[in-house]
């Protein structure tokens, strides 16, 4: 039997929900930082550069770390659920449908939300890092 019970589902849901709330609360700040303008002169970029760096270090990287950790923590259980379901369905499709248990399916749904959050958080962090590099770069115009 697959080792997914209501406690694992509850823990996964609670942790993914908490990280999702943080992401939602910080979304406006992340978006503002991502839409920062790169001024032609490097000295004119200091306020934007500081805001992007602060957002990267204080919001984007912690979110990426938290969501990535959740994905890694629950990965063995997710693989086990998928492997068990595929093997059971391949061997006995009708019996698999009769023995359907919504707890592992719900766990997989919550896990997939964590994967999407992790991918989004990582992409945001990488985009902010690239923007921070551009903001720290040389002047864009001669003069």
- For 120-130, write each residue's pLDDT tens digit: 999 999 999 99
How far is 42 from 130, CA to CA, in rounded Å?
Answer: 16
Vertex 124: Cα angle to 39 and 12 (nearest 5): 160
The predicted model gives 96-110 an average pLDDT of 90
Write down the mean pLDDT value for the chain: 92
Burial class (CB in 10 A: 0-12, 13-18, 19+), 2: middle
How far is 95 from 104, CA to CA, in rounded Å?
Answer: 16
Burial class (CB in 10 A: 0-12, 13-18, 19+), 96: middle
Quick one: tokens of 55?
């957002």
The predicted model gives 40-63 an average pLDDT of 94
Question: For position 2, what pLDDT does the model report?
Answer: 57
pLDDT at 134 over 90: yes
């Amino acid at each position: 039997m697959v080792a997914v019970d209501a406690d694992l589902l509850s823990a996964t849901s609670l942790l993914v929900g908490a990280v999702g709330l943080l992401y939602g609360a910080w979304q406006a700040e992340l978006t503002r930082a991502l839409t920062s303008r790169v001024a032609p002169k490097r000295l004119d970029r200091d306020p934007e550069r500081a805001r992007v760096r602060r957002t990267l270090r204080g919001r984007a990287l912690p979110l990426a770390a938290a969501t990535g950790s959740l994905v890694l923590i629950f990965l063995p259980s997710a693989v086990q659920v998928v492997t068990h379901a595929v093997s059971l369905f391949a061997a006995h499709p009708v019996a698999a449908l009769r023995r359907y248990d919504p707890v592992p399916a719900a766990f997989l749904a919550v896990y997939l939300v964590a994967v999407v959050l992790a991918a989004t958080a990582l992409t945001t962090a990488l985009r902010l890092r690239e923007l921070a590099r551009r903001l720290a770069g040389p002047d864009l115009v001669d003069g």
